[in-house]
Chains A and B, each alone.
Chain A
Amino acid sequence: MVADLTAADFLQASQQSPEKPSSNIEAAALQVESLGLQLDGKVILHGVSFSLPTSGVTSVIGPSGAGKSSLLRCLNGLLTQWSGTISVAGASTRQWHGGWDQLRRHVGLIAQKPVVFNASIRANVCFGIHGWRQRRRADELVEKSLQQAALWDEVKDRLDAPAVTLSVGQQQRLCIARAVAIKPGILLLDEPTASLDPRSKQLIEQSMQQLAKETPLLCVTHDLEQAQRLEGSTIFMCDGRVIEQGESKQLFTQPQCIETREFLRWSVCDCN
């Protein structure tokens, strides 16, 4: 459904001015209350509520079509026609200072498929950097971001090479570096290691764990083992609803809901 939309439709959506605030919720890095989303008459998310701690990794698991990716798009402001409340650092995203563009800088999103821009590795990392002060220390920022994304050692000698010459795994880490360079308050990752080789997967997981010490991460994954490896907490979603949320260790060993148990056992869910 989302694939039917054109680039311009998304751009148009971003032009809509944010609405008036609904509430002002303090605490937690991110708080979602009764989030609902309907696209082309189909309900995608229904009464989704959860909160994200101020650090650590929170994994989102669930069958295909559960609404996990749509959830990330709502949180990041790529989708704006949702109902309910999303609060980041206590402020409703609908009244975010500077509008949706500024919200997206604060809530970074890394897509499943790495997308590098037609530019050098260095330019890709610097793409989101604004302001002369930041630009003056761009080299320092590039090095730090690439280190955080576990890519520095592989590209430090060819920062001016076109980004498209990198392998898919390296491109994904470059996307992480690019997102990290603008210092987001929260980082959302949509299946960041899907279809990557084990080595790249391992490097990205290491990078995520490193980043999670400073920034809360919300990671959608189909890889249940990965969700366990990343520790932190896990949210199980099915049919556009949050079925269960808890510490990863507990959720994977002692799930409370029968749907979670079934999903962990058979990787299917018959919620719908």
Chain B
Amino acid sequence: MNAQRLLYRDTISKSIVWLLAVPALLIPAIVLCYIFWQAAPVLDWGFIVGTADGAGFGITDGIFAQLLGSLLLAVMACVIAAPFALGTALFYRTYASPRQQRLLTAMFNMLQGIPPIVFGLCGLVVLVNLFAWGISLISGAVVLALVVLPLLVLNTLATLERIPLDYTEAGMALGLGSGTIIWRLWLPRSWLNLLTGLLLAMARALSETAPIMFTATVFSGVVWPDSLFSPVTTLQTHIFYLAQEGNDPQVISIAWGSAAVLVLLVASLGLLARLLHKLGEH
């Protein structure tokens, strides 16, 4: 009787767990399927490569300019943020006093909680207007770098924490200074994991729309920025603008197509990051 009751309880708890877990797995899958189903009519090589002359506002000329703009902004943001993230994490792990560590932790937790549009607004006021950089690639990249900085710092910290203590101690026992330990032991050992963090940050940068709306992008008319101070077009803002044209089915299907490409791009970065992480663990 007792055993039967235990079995009954076990079955109920299993059912509850399944009931809670299945929607969480199913809903994203349904959303993804829906995006690709809607995007299917426009998705082809011509749509991605297009003519890229900007004449069709990303509707008749493909989304190549937008794709490149998104990638350029994400890469530049990570290139700007990465050295600062690495420096901050190394400072935190090696030289910072416990008080400074607490301060840094609080600051990065706070930075992570700030809505990205606030960064966009700050970028508009300071970079676009005060520094007179205008709506440009550099303004957007700097603002996006600020958005991904906390993520990169926390990832770098986690990577450094995974380095076994005896590995560091073995270096210290040889009389290696902290600088040598960082450059010759820590970084060569963890560069794959640091690269993983960089890819994840790039995926995050690709997902952001608000910070670049005021600082970097224009709807169309721009194919390829001439300089760091030229505006760009991006997939994120392209989807945003097209979605506002809710009455035109052709425009909406272009928006779905752009969304599918963006999802594929972010998913590819995620998969690559996962692969690198596994290699790093190995």
A residues sitting closer than 8 Å to B (CB atoms) are: 3, 5-8, 10-12, 14-15, 76, 78, 101-106, 108-111, 113, 115, 117-119, 127-128, 175, 178-179, 182
CB distance from A145 to the nearest CB of B (A): 12
A179 to B95 CA separation, bound complex (whole angstroms) = 26
A–B Cβ pairs within 8 angstroms, 12 of them: A7-B160, A7-B165, A7-B169, A8-B160, A12-B94, A78-B169, A101-B172, A104-B172, A104-B173, A111-B169, A118-B188, A127-B171
Q: Are A7 and B173 in contact (CB under 8 A)?
A: no
Chain A residues with Cβ under 8 A from B185's Cβ?
Answer: 117
| Residue B249 lies at the interface, judged by CB distance under 8 Å to chain A | no
Chain A residues with Cβ under 8 A from B93's Cβ?
Answer: 6-8, 11
Chain A residues with Cβ under 8 A from B94's Cβ?
Answer: 8, 11-12, 15
Q: Are B175 and A115 in contact (CB under 8 A)?
A: no
Q: Are B178 and A15 in contact (CB under 8 A)?
A: yes
| Residue B174 lies at the interface, judged by CB distance under 8 Å to chain A | yes
| Residue B166 lies at the interface, judged by CB distance under 8 Å to chain A | yes
Among B160, B169, B189, point to the contact of A10 (Cβ < 8 A): B169
Q: Are A101 and B177 in contact (CB under 8 A)?
A: yes
Q: Are B175 and A104 in contact (CB under 8 A)?
A: yes
A80 to B218 CA separation, bound complex (whole angstroms) = 59
A179 to B167 CA separation, bound complex (whole angstroms) = 14
CB distance from A202 to the nearest CB of B (A): 24
CB distance from B156 to the nearest CB of A (A): 12
Please provide the chain B residues from 142 to 192 with a CB less than 8 Å away from any CB of chain A in the complex.
160-161, 163-178, 181, 184-185, 188-189
Q: Are B175 and A102 in contact (CB under 8 A)?
A: yes
A123, closest chain B residue (CB): B184
A127 to B184 CA separation, bound complex (whole angstroms) = 9
Chain A residues with Cβ under 8 A from B160's Cβ?
Answer: 7-8
A182 to B160 CA separation, bound complex (whole angstroms) = 27
Chain A residues with Cβ under 8 A from B169's Cβ?
Answer: 7, 10, 78, 111, 115
Chain B residues with Cβ under 8 A from A12's Cβ?
Answer: 94-95
Q: Which of A8, A14, A179 has the most CB of B within 10 A?
A: A8
A190, closest chain B residue (CB): B173
Nearest first, the 10 A-B pairs at minimum CB distance are A105-B175, A128-B174, A7-B168, A115-B170, A8-B93, A109-B173, A104-B175, A7-B165, A101-B175, A101-B177
A7 to B172 CA separation, bound complex (whole angstroms) = 10
| Main SS class of interface, B | helix
Q: Are A10 and B174 in contact (CB under 8 A)?
A: no
Q: Are B165 and A5 in contact (CB under 8 A)?
A: yes
Q: Are B178 and A11 in contact (CB under 8 A)?
A: yes
Q: Are A182 and B174 in contact (CB under 8 A)?
A: yes
Among A3, A105, A113, point to the contact of B174 (Cβ < 8 A): A105
B93, closest chain A residue (CB): A8
Instruction: Check A76/B173 contact, CB under 8 A, given A11-B178, A15-B94, A15-B95.
Output: yes
Chain A residues with Cβ under 8 A from B189's Cβ?
Answer: 118
CB distance from A261 to the nearest CB of B (A): 35
Q: Are B172 and A14 in contact (CB under 8 A)?
A: yes
Q: Which of B165, B173, B177 has the most CB of A within 10 A?
A: B173
Chain A residues with Cβ under 8 A from B174's Cβ?
Answer: 104-105, 108, 127-128, 178-179, 182
Q: Are B177 and A7 in contact (CB under 8 A)?
A: no
Chain B residues with Cβ under 8 A from A109's Cβ?
Answer: 173
Chain A residues with Cβ under 8 A from B171's Cβ?
Answer: 117, 127
Q: Are A6 and B170 in contact (CB under 8 A)?
A: no
A128 to B166 CA separation, bound complex (whole angstroms) = 16
CB distance from B8 to the nearest CB of A (A): 43
Among A5, A102, A111, A113, point to the contact of B173 (Cβ < 8 A): A111
A103, closest chain B residue (CB): B175
A106 to B175 CA separation, bound complex (whole angstroms) = 8
Among A3, A14, A78, A175, point to the contact of B178 (Cβ < 8 A): A14
Chain B residues with Cβ under 8 A from A182's Cβ?
Answer: 174-175
Name 18 extra pairs, CB < 8 A, besides A8-B94, A101-B172. A5-B165, A6-B93, A14-B178, A15-B178, A78-B172, A78-B173, A101-B177, A104-B174, A105-B174, A105-B175, A110-B173, A111-B169, A115-B170, A117-B170, A117-B184, A118-B189, A127-B174, A182-B175
Chain A residues with Cβ under 8 A from B176's Cβ?
Answer: 101, 127-128
Q: Are B170 and A111 in contact (CB under 8 A)?
A: yes
A168 to B184 CA separation, bound complex (whole angstroms) = 23
A76 to B181 CA separation, bound complex (whole angstroms) = 17
A110 to B172 CA separation, bound complex (whole angstroms) = 11
Chain A residues with Cβ under 8 A from B177's Cβ?
Answer: 14, 101
Chain A residues with Cβ under 8 A from B167's Cβ?
Answer: 7, 115, 117
A76 to B185 CA separation, bound complex (whole angstroms) = 20
A111 to B171 CA separation, bound complex (whole angstroms) = 11
Complex interface bits, B92-121 against A, C-beta within 8 A gives 1, otherwise 0? 011100000000000000000000000000
B164, closest chain A residue (CB): A7
A6 to B160 CA separation, bound complex (whole angstroms) = 10
CB distance from B93 to the nearest CB of A (A): 4
